[in-house]
Amino acid sequence: MAQVSLRKVIKKYDEVLAVRGVDLDIADKEFIVLVGPSGCGKSTTLRMIAGLEEISGGDIAIGGDVVNDVPPKDRDIAMVFQNYALYPHMNVYENMSFGLKLKKTPKQVIDQRVRTAAGILDITELLDRKPKQLSGGQRQRVAMGRAIVRDPKVFLFDEPLSNLDAKLRVQMRTEIKKVHQKVRTTTVYVTHDQVEAMTLADRVVVMNAGLIEQVGTPNDLYHSPATKFVAGFIGSPAMNFIPCQLEQAAGALRVRLNDKLAFPVPDGRTARYTSFVGKPNLVLGLRPEHIAETRPHTEPNQHDFEQMIEVVEPMGMETLVYFTINGAEVCGRVNPNAGATAERTMKLRADLSNMHLIDDTTGKVI
């Protein structure tokens, strides 16, 4: 059993607070991804769990034991680094067995564990090679192998795929997921790539400026972000943020974007939003996929409008169109055959059933 819990964990570098009180409970066998922009404290948090950084305040517990002052080697963790950190003068076998050798594990046990791990990662035929003879993906596998053989309580990954090219990254992402399904060890994974976070995690922890913004399953974060930061960070292309006003007209609530454009608020949300009528600093959050070309058949909460398209980006399976509403650049995803052309007006349809209303003063989603 290896739950990891962080209680009000703080990291101070001189006078700078890198991590400003993080509370997090990671369940046994869970795959947690810490995600956020660079400098948000995610790597520092991971390194504190590893014991590579001392904590300035709070408690970290692994498997129920507080490990604040326990050195890394006694925390029973394994870590995979961004630049692999393989020992260049040792071959793959020696790299993988180094930790076990230091622990004076019997030779047969080492051999058996190395071979099992090599089998899982499909690197058995590479065991005699030196790291410099391996490709990036193979090195990453060896780094994972080194972690697996130790059979630790917790796996820690520090941006392990950032050094790989785009195609390999996708491939290794799947590998990591497969390995976790086979090995089932509690995993904490740090990345700045929200796609990686969404695809790998049981739960995603979005961090910003040394604090946790939101913890939730990938779908939770995507569909019900708690803050403007999470709403904008998760999803690609990012969610559109359009300054708006909430107005009451004939008993119904409307989101007014500019003089010409106003959309009725879906029924289920009126109660939640009523108190914000007439308030300043409101922002409408609408994902690009909820702005598409118009169609003959109308679903509830879908509203047509016309816009001058500024930029068209064909992606193959879809086409991205960009236009400006109320000073904000807005992106929509339309069918490639919808005939989107730059500098022409186009009939579009907004689906408000997935809208978000954000109070820009607090940054919270209402």
Partner 1 sequence: MANATVATAGAPTRPVRYGSISQSRRWALRWSYFFLVLFAIFFLMPPFYMLVTALKSKEEIAAITNPWWVYSPTLSNFIELLTQNQYLIFFRNSALVSICVVVVTMLISVIAAFSLARMKFWGSAALATGVFLTYLIPDTLLFIPLFKMMTFVRETTGIELVNHWWTLIIIYPTLTVPFCTWIMIGYFASIPKELDEAALIDGATWMQTLTKIFIPVALPGIIAATIFCFTVSWAQFLYPLAFTTSTTELVLPVGIVTTLIKGDVFNWGQIMAGALLGAAPPLIIYAFLMDYYIAGLTAGATKG
Binding site for partner 1 (CB under 8 A): 50-52, 71-73, 77-79, 81-89, 98-99, 102-103, 131-132, 139, 146, 150, 163
Q: How far apart are CA 184 and CA 50, in angstroms?
A: 19
Least CB distance from residue 68 to partner 1, whole Å?
Answer: 17
Q: How far apart are CA 259 and CA 319, in angstroms?
A: 28
Q: What does the block give as tokens for 327?
A: 């000073």
Backbone angles phi, psi at 299, to 5 degrees: -90, 165
Please identify, using beta-carbon distances, which residue of 163 and 354 lies nearer to partner 1: 163
As beta bridge partners, residue 181 has none
Least CB distance from residue 79 to partner 1, whole Å?
Answer: 5
Judge contact between 197 and 161, C-beta under 8 A.
no
Would you list the DSSP string of 210-228?
TEEEEEE-HHHHHHS-SBH
Least CB distance from residue 54 to partner 1, whole Å?
Answer: 12
Least CB distance from residue 254 to partner 1, whole Å?
Answer: 55
Please identify, using beta-carbon distances, which residue of 85 and 328 lies nearer to partner 1: 85
Least CB distance from residue 99 to partner 1, whole Å?
Answer: 4
Give the per-residue SS3 of 300-327: CCEEEEEEECCEEEECCCCEEEEEEECC
Q: Which of 139, 133, 137 is nearest to 96 (CA)?
A: 139
Least CB distance from residue 104 to partner 1, whole Å?
Answer: 10
Q: What does the block give as tokens for 360?
A: 């820009």
Please identify, using beta-carbon distances, which residue of 169 and 356 lies nearer to partner 1: 169
Would you list the DSSP string of 50-115?
HTSS--SEEEEEETTEE-TT--GGGS-EEEE-TT----TTS-HHHHHHHHHHHTT--HHHHHHHHH
Please identify, using beta-carbon distances, which residue of 162 and 354 lies nearer to partner 1: 162
Least CB distance from residue 196 to partner 1, whole Å?
Answer: 20
Q: How far apart are CA 353 and CA 42, in angstroms?
A: 33
Please identify, using beta-carbon distances, which residue of 130 and 254 lies nearer to partner 1: 130
Least CB distance from residue 131 to partner 1, whole Å?
Answer: 8
Please identify, using beta-carbon distances, which residue of 90 and 226 lies nearer to partner 1: 90
Please identify, using beta-carbon distances, which residue of 41 and 131 lies nearer to partner 1: 131
Backbone angles phi, psi at 250, to 5 degrees: 55, 45
Give kind and range of the element (H or E) at residue 9.
Answer: strand 4-13
Q: How far apart are CA 12 and CA 168, in angstroms?
A: 36
Please identify, using beta-carbon distances, which residue of 81 and 276 lies nearer to partner 1: 81
